[in-house]
Protein backbone atom coordinates (compact mmCIF):
# COMPACT_ATOMS: atom_id res chain seq x y z
CA UNK A 1 0.00 0.00 0.00
CA UNK A 2 1.21 3.49 -0.82
CA UNK A 3 1.96 6.04 1.89
CA UNK A 4 0.68 9.55 2.45
CA UNK A 5 2.04 12.39 4.59
CA UNK A 6 -0.07 14.14 7.22
CA UNK A 7 1.03 17.65 8.13
CA UNK A 8 4.34 19.38 7.50
CA UNK A 9 6.46 17.42 9.97
CA UNK A 10 6.55 14.24 7.96
CA UNK A 11 4.00 11.97 9.65
CA UNK A 12 3.92 9.12 7.12
CA UNK A 13 0.98 6.68 7.18
CA UNK A 14 -0.64 4.12 4.88
CA UNK A 15 -3.15 5.72 2.50
CA UNK A 16 -5.95 3.95 4.37
CA UNK A 17 -5.99 3.58 8.13
CA UNK A 18 -8.10 1.42 10.43
CA UNK A 19 -10.58 2.99 12.82
CA UNK A 20 -10.63 0.71 15.87
CA UNK A 21 -13.58 2.27 17.75
CA UNK A 22 -16.19 -0.26 16.64
CA UNK A 23 -14.17 -3.18 17.99
CA UNK A 24 -15.20 -2.27 21.54
CA UNK A 25 -17.58 0.70 21.36
CA UNK A 26 -20.44 2.40 19.54
CA UNK A 27 -21.78 -0.28 17.24
CA UNK A 28 -23.22 -2.93 19.53
CA UNK A 29 -21.43 -5.60 21.61
CA UNK A 30 -17.62 -5.63 21.67
CA UNK A 31 -15.83 -7.97 19.29
CA UNK A 32 -14.24 -11.03 20.86
CA UNK A 33 -10.73 -9.96 21.89
CA UNK A 34 -8.91 -12.69 19.97
CA UNK A 35 -10.90 -11.87 16.82
CA UNK A 36 -10.24 -8.14 17.23
CA UNK A 37 -6.50 -8.70 17.67
CA UNK A 38 -6.48 -10.97 14.65
CA UNK A 39 -8.27 -8.31 12.56
CA UNK A 40 -5.76 -5.59 13.51
CA UNK A 41 -2.84 -7.89 12.74
CA UNK A 42 -4.36 -8.84 9.39
CA UNK A 43 -4.78 -5.14 8.57
CA UNK A 44 -1.05 -4.68 9.16
CA UNK A 45 -0.22 -7.70 6.96
CA UNK A 46 -2.32 -6.14 4.21
CA UNK A 47 -0.41 -2.85 4.38
CA UNK A 48 -2.23 -0.68 6.93
CA UNK A 49 0.19 1.14 9.24
CA UNK A 50 -2.20 3.71 10.77
CA UNK A 51 -4.48 2.73 13.67
CA UNK A 52 -6.97 5.01 15.40
CA UNK A 53 -8.18 4.70 19.00
CA UNK A 54 -9.26 6.99 21.87
CA UNK A 55 -9.54 7.07 25.62
CA UNK A 56 -13.31 7.50 25.21
CA UNK A 57 -13.65 4.20 23.37
CA UNK A 58 -14.36 2.08 26.45
CA UNK A 59 -12.07 4.00 28.86
CA UNK A 60 -8.78 2.43 27.81
CA UNK A 61 -10.06 -1.02 26.77
CA UNK A 62 -9.81 -0.12 23.07
CA UNK A 63 -6.29 1.25 23.51
CA UNK A 64 -5.19 -1.84 25.44
CA UNK A 65 -6.55 -4.09 22.70
CA UNK A 66 -4.69 -2.12 20.05
CA UNK A 67 -1.50 -2.17 22.13
CA UNK A 68 -1.66 -5.97 22.41
CA UNK A 69 -2.36 -6.41 18.71
CA UNK A 70 0.57 -4.31 17.44
CA UNK A 71 3.12 -5.26 20.09
CA UNK A 72 5.32 -7.31 17.76
CA UNK A 73 5.46 -4.57 15.09
CA UNK A 74 4.92 -1.45 17.21
CA UNK A 75 7.81 0.51 15.67
CA UNK A 76 6.41 0.00 12.16
CA UNK A 77 2.98 1.53 12.75
CA UNK A 78 1.45 4.89 13.68
CA UNK A 79 -0.94 4.90 16.63
CA UNK A 80 -3.40 7.74 17.10
CA UNK A 81 -5.41 8.25 20.27
CA UNK A 82 -7.43 11.08 21.80
CA UNK A 83 -8.11 13.06 24.98
CA UNK A 84 -10.84 15.52 25.87
CA UNK A 85 -13.68 13.98 27.89
CA UNK A 86 -14.30 13.91 31.63
CA UNK A 87 -13.07 10.57 32.96
CA UNK A 88 -12.73 9.39 29.37
CA UNK A 89 -16.50 9.15 29.08
CA UNK A 90 -18.15 11.07 26.25
CA UNK A 91 -21.46 11.19 28.17
CA UNK A 92 -19.88 13.16 31.03
CA UNK A 93 -18.88 16.29 29.15
CA UNK A 94 -15.64 17.87 27.98
CA UNK A 95 -12.35 18.22 29.86
CA UNK A 96 -9.18 19.45 28.17
CA UNK A 97 -7.54 21.08 31.17
CA UNK A 98 -3.75 20.76 30.92
CA UNK A 99 -3.57 18.44 33.95
CA UNK A 100 -6.24 16.21 32.40
CA UNK A 101 -4.39 16.07 29.05
CA UNK A 102 -1.25 14.96 30.90
CA UNK A 103 -3.16 12.34 32.89
CA UNK A 104 -4.70 10.92 29.71
CA UNK A 105 -1.31 10.83 27.99
CA UNK A 106 0.20 8.81 30.85
CA UNK A 107 -2.80 6.44 30.93
CA UNK A 108 -2.76 5.99 27.14
CA UNK A 109 0.96 5.19 27.13
CA UNK A 110 0.26 2.43 29.66
CA UNK A 111 -2.83 1.07 27.91
CA UNK A 112 -1.10 1.06 24.54
CA UNK A 113 2.03 -0.49 26.09
CA UNK A 114 4.21 2.04 24.29
CA UNK A 115 6.67 4.79 25.19
CA UNK A 116 5.30 7.33 22.71
CA UNK A 117 1.92 8.33 21.21
CA UNK A 118 2.43 9.02 17.49
CA UNK A 119 -0.61 11.27 17.07
CA UNK A 120 -2.50 12.78 20.02
CA UNK A 121 -5.84 14.37 19.11
CA UNK A 122 -8.09 16.63 21.11
CA UNK A 123 -11.33 14.65 20.69
CA UNK A 124 -13.60 17.71 20.85
CA UNK A 125 -12.82 21.37 21.45
CA UNK A 126 -13.41 22.35 25.10
CA UNK A 127 -14.87 25.89 25.19
CA UNK A 128 -13.77 26.24 28.83
CA UNK A 129 -10.05 25.81 28.07
CA UNK A 130 -8.21 28.24 25.76
CA UNK A 131 -6.95 26.41 22.67
CA UNK A 132 -3.53 27.98 23.27
CA UNK A 133 -3.34 26.08 26.59
CA UNK A 134 -4.35 22.81 24.94
CA UNK A 135 -1.82 23.18 22.12
CA UNK A 136 0.84 24.35 24.60
CA UNK A 137 0.34 21.27 26.78
CA UNK A 138 0.64 18.91 23.82
CA UNK A 139 3.68 20.89 22.67
CA UNK A 140 5.28 20.22 26.07
CA UNK A 141 4.45 16.51 25.79
CA UNK A 142 6.13 16.50 22.37
CA UNK A 143 9.25 18.15 23.84
CA UNK A 144 9.24 15.50 26.59
CA UNK A 145 9.18 12.72 23.98
CA UNK A 146 5.79 11.32 25.05
CA UNK A 147 3.94 12.46 21.93
CA UNK A 148 5.15 12.91 18.35
CA UNK A 149 2.34 14.82 16.61
CA UNK A 150 -0.71 16.91 17.55
CA UNK A 151 -4.18 16.52 16.03
CA UNK A 152 -7.69 17.94 16.40
CA UNK A 153 -11.03 16.19 15.92
CA UNK A 154 -14.21 17.93 14.69
CA UNK A 155 -12.66 21.36 15.37
CA UNK A 156 -13.74 24.55 13.63
CA UNK A 157 -11.61 26.98 11.62
CA UNK A 158 -10.89 29.39 14.48
CA UNK A 159 -9.68 26.60 16.82
CA UNK A 160 -7.53 25.06 14.08
CA UNK A 161 -5.79 28.39 13.43
CA UNK A 162 -5.24 29.09 17.14
CA UNK A 163 -3.84 25.61 17.79
CA UNK A 164 -1.62 25.60 14.73
CA UNK A 165 -0.05 28.93 15.73
CA UNK A 166 1.18 27.35 18.99
CA UNK A 167 1.97 23.78 17.90
CA UNK A 168 1.78 22.65 14.25
CA UNK A 169 -1.30 20.47 13.76
CA UNK A 170 -0.50 17.31 11.77
CA UNK A 171 -4.07 16.21 11.16
CA UNK A 172 -7.71 17.10 11.56
CA UNK A 173 -10.08 14.19 12.02
CA UNK A 174 -13.70 14.84 11.03
CA UNK A 175 -16.50 13.11 9.21
CA UNK A 176 -16.28 13.30 5.41
CA UNK A 177 -17.80 11.10 2.75
CA UNK A 178 -20.01 11.19 -0.31
CA UNK A 179 -22.98 11.76 1.97
CA UNK A 180 -21.38 14.34 4.28
CA UNK A 181 -19.54 16.96 2.23
CA UNK A 182 -19.72 19.92 4.58
CA UNK A 183 -15.89 19.96 5.05
CA UNK A 184 -15.48 21.10 1.44
CA UNK A 185 -16.96 24.52 2.21
CA UNK A 186 -14.41 25.85 4.73
CA UNK A 187 -12.35 23.12 6.35
CA UNK A 188 -10.52 21.64 3.40
CA UNK A 189 -9.33 25.02 2.00
CA UNK A 190 -7.95 25.97 5.46
CA UNK A 191 -6.23 22.59 5.89
CA UNK A 192 -4.66 23.03 2.46
CA UNK A 193 -3.52 26.55 3.31
CA UNK A 194 -1.91 25.47 6.60
CA UNK A 195 -0.51 22.14 5.38
CA UNK A 196 -2.62 19.99 7.73
CA UNK A 197 -3.62 16.44 6.80
CA UNK A 198 -7.25 15.32 6.83
CA UNK A 199 -8.36 12.01 8.37
CA UNK A 200 -12.01 11.34 7.50
CA UNK A 201 -13.85 9.08 9.92
CA UNK A 202 -17.09 7.35 8.89
CA UNK A 203 -15.86 7.46 5.26
CA UNK A 204 -18.52 4.86 4.45
CA UNK A 205 -21.28 6.86 6.13
CA UNK A 206 -21.31 4.62 9.24
CA UNK A 207 -21.85 1.64 6.94
CA UNK A 208 -24.63 3.16 4.85
CA UNK A 209 -22.59 3.63 1.67
CA UNK A 210 -21.68 -0.06 1.54
CA UNK A 211 -25.23 -0.82 0.38
CA UNK A 212 -25.71 -3.27 3.27
CA UNK A 213 -28.23 -1.05 5.14
CA UNK A 214 -31.81 -0.24 4.15
CA UNK A 215 -35.02 0.86 5.85
CA UNK A 216 -35.67 -2.65 7.23
CA UNK A 217 -32.24 -3.01 8.91
CA UNK A 218 -32.45 -3.60 12.66
CA UNK A 219 -29.52 -2.29 14.73
CA UNK A 220 -28.43 -3.72 18.07
CA UNK A 221 -30.07 -1.77 20.95
CA UNK A 222 -26.64 -0.43 22.00
CA UNK A 223 -25.76 0.73 18.46
CA UNK A 224 -25.07 4.49 18.28
CA UNK A 225 -26.93 4.71 14.95
CA UNK A 226 -30.27 4.26 16.75
CA UNK A 227 -30.07 7.91 17.90
CA UNK A 228 -28.70 9.38 14.66
CA UNK A 229 -31.46 11.22 12.73
CA UNK A 230 -29.93 10.23 9.39
CA UNK A 231 -30.48 6.59 10.35
CA UNK A 232 -34.19 6.83 11.10
CA UNK A 233 -36.17 4.30 9.06
CA UNK A 234 -37.70 7.06 6.96
CA UNK A 235 -34.32 8.69 6.22
CA UNK A 236 -32.64 5.37 5.44
CA UNK A 237 -35.33 4.87 2.81
CA UNK A 238 -34.98 8.42 1.45
CA UNK A 239 -31.17 8.20 1.24
CA UNK A 240 -31.03 5.02 -0.84
CA UNK A 241 -30.64 7.18 -3.96
CA UNK A 242 -27.03 7.94 -2.94
CA UNK A 243 -26.34 4.23 -2.51
CA UNK A 244 -27.90 3.51 -5.91
CA UNK A 245 -25.59 6.09 -7.51
CA UNK A 246 -22.51 4.51 -5.92
CA UNK A 247 -23.71 1.02 -6.91
CA UNK A 248 -24.10 2.11 -10.54
CA UNK A 249 -20.50 3.38 -10.64
CA UNK A 250 -19.30 0.25 -8.84
CA UNK A 251 -20.91 -1.92 -11.49
CA UNK A 252 -19.07 -0.13 -14.30
CA UNK A 253 -15.76 -0.38 -12.40
CA UNK A 254 -16.36 -4.02 -11.41
CA UNK A 255 -15.98 -2.97 -7.78
CA UNK A 256 -18.10 -2.80 -4.63
CA UNK A 257 -19.87 0.36 -3.40
CA UNK A 258 -17.52 0.57 -0.39
CA UNK A 259 -14.47 0.57 -2.64
CA UNK A 260 -15.92 3.32 -4.83
CA UNK A 261 -16.81 5.49 -1.80
CA UNK A 262 -13.27 5.14 -0.39
CA UNK A 263 -11.59 5.61 -3.78
CA UNK A 264 -13.59 8.82 -4.22
CA UNK A 265 -12.19 10.17 -0.93
CA UNK A 266 -8.63 9.17 -1.82
CA UNK A 267 -8.99 11.02 -5.13
CA UNK A 268 -9.98 14.31 -3.47
CA UNK A 269 -6.55 15.32 -2.07
CA UNK A 270 -3.19 13.54 -1.68
CA UNK A 271 -3.20 14.38 2.05
CA UNK A 272 -6.54 12.73 2.85
CA UNK A 273 -6.34 9.41 4.73
CA UNK A 274 -9.70 7.76 5.46
CA UNK A 275 -9.98 5.43 8.47
CA UNK A 276 -12.86 3.02 7.81
CA UNK A 277 -13.61 0.78 10.76
CA UNK A 278 -14.91 -2.77 10.66
CA UNK A 279 -15.19 -5.86 12.83
CA UNK A 280 -15.24 -8.27 9.89
CA UNK A 281 -12.26 -9.63 8.00
CA UNK A 282 -14.03 -9.75 4.64
CA UNK A 283 -15.00 -6.07 5.02
CA UNK A 284 -11.41 -5.18 5.88
CA UNK A 285 -10.21 -6.89 2.70
CA UNK A 286 -12.96 -5.20 0.70
CA UNK A 287 -12.04 -1.74 2.04
CA UNK A 288 -8.34 -2.22 1.33
CA UNK A 289 -9.19 -3.00 -2.29
CA UNK A 290 -10.17 0.66 -2.70
CA UNK A 291 -6.52 1.65 -3.04
CA UNK A 292 -6.34 -0.20 -6.37
CA UNK A 293 -9.28 1.63 -7.94
CA UNK A 294 -8.44 4.45 -10.30
CA UNK A 295 -11.20 7.02 -10.69
CA UNK A 296 -10.54 9.16 -13.76
CA UNK A 297 -11.43 12.84 -14.02
CA UNK A 298 -14.45 11.77 -16.07
CA UNK A 299 -15.51 9.34 -13.33
CA UNK A 300 -15.17 12.05 -10.68
CA UNK A 301 -17.04 14.54 -12.84
CA UNK A 302 -19.96 12.16 -13.38
CA UNK A 303 -20.10 11.36 -9.64
CA UNK A 304 -20.12 15.11 -8.95
CA UNK A 305 -22.92 15.82 -11.40
CA UNK A 306 -25.10 12.94 -10.22
CA UNK A 307 -24.53 13.44 -6.49
CA UNK A 308 -25.20 17.19 -6.66
CA UNK A 309 -28.82 16.36 -7.58
CA UNK A 310 -29.32 14.16 -4.50
CA UNK A 311 -30.67 15.70 -1.32
CA UNK A 312 -29.54 13.79 1.80
CA UNK A 313 -32.16 13.51 4.54
CA UNK A 314 -31.46 13.70 8.27
CA UNK A 315 -28.81 15.28 10.50
CA UNK A 316 -25.56 13.37 11.03
CA UNK A 317 -25.72 13.78 14.82
CA UNK A 318 -28.47 14.25 17.38
CA UNK A 319 -28.51 17.88 18.54
CA UNK A 320 -26.65 17.40 21.86
CA UNK A 321 -23.69 15.88 19.99
CA UNK A 322 -23.87 18.37 17.12
CA UNK A 323 -23.37 21.14 19.72
CA UNK A 324 -19.79 19.89 20.29
CA UNK A 325 -18.79 20.09 16.64
CA UNK A 326 -17.04 22.86 14.75
CA UNK A 327 -16.04 24.93 17.77
pLDDT confidence of residue 1: 95
Give me the helices (H) in 6-156, please. 33-45, 61-70, 98-112, 131-143
pLDDT confidence of residue 29: 86
Q: List the chain domain ranges.
A: 3-207+270-293
DSSP 39: H
Tell me whether strands 3-6 and 78-83 are parallel, antiparallel or unpaired: unpaired
pLDDT confidence of residue 204: 94
pLDDT confidence of residue 326: 85
pLDDT confidence of residue 246: 93
Residues 233 and 255: their CA atoms lie apart, in Å, by 27
Residues 212 and 27: their CA atoms lie apart, in Å, by 15
pLDDT confidence of residue 253: 94
**pLDDT, tens digit, for every residue of 200-243?**
999 999 999 999 999 999 999 989 899 999 999 999 999 999 99
pLDDT confidence of residue 317: 87
For residues 212 and 247, is the Cβ–Cβ distance under 8 A?
no
For residues 316 and 180, is the Cβ–Cβ distance under 8 A?
yes
Residues 119 and 170: their CA atoms lie apart, in Å, by 8
**pLDDT, tens digit, for every residue of 32-82?**
999 999 999 999 999 999 999 999 998 999 999 999 999 999 999 999 999
Active-site annotation holder among 27, 57, 121, 176: 57
pLDDT confidence of residue 26: 82
pLDDT confidence of residue 318: 87
- Angstrom distances, CA of residue 70 to CA of 14, 33, 269: 15, 13, 29
- Please report how the helices 187-194 and 157-166 are oriented relative to each other, as an axis angle in degrees rounded to 10: 10
pLDDT confidence of residue 275: 98
Residues 171 and 201: their CA atoms lie apart, in Å, by 12
pLDDT confidence of residue 28: 82
pLDDT confidence of residue 320: 85
**Does the annotation mark 57 as catalytic?**
yes
In three-state form (DSSP H/G/I as H, E/B as E, the rest C), the secondary structure along 213-267 is CCCCCCCCCCEHHHHCHHHCHHHHHHCHHHHHHHHHHHHHHCCCHHHHHHHHHHH
Tell me the CATH class for 3-207+270-293.
alpha beta
Which residues have CB under 8 Å from 213's CB, separation 6+? 207, 231, 236
Q: Residues of the chain whose pLDDT is less than 50?
A: none
Amino acid sequence: MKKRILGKNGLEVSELGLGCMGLTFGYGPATDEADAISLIQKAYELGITFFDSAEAYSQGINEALLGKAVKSFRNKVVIATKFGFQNGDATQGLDSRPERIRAVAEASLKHLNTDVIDLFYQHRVDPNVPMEDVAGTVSDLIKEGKVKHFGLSEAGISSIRKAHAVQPVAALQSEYSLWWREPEKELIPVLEELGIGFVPFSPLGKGFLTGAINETTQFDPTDFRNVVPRFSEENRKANQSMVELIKSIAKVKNATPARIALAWLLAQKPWIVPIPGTTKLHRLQENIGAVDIELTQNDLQSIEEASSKIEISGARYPQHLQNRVGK
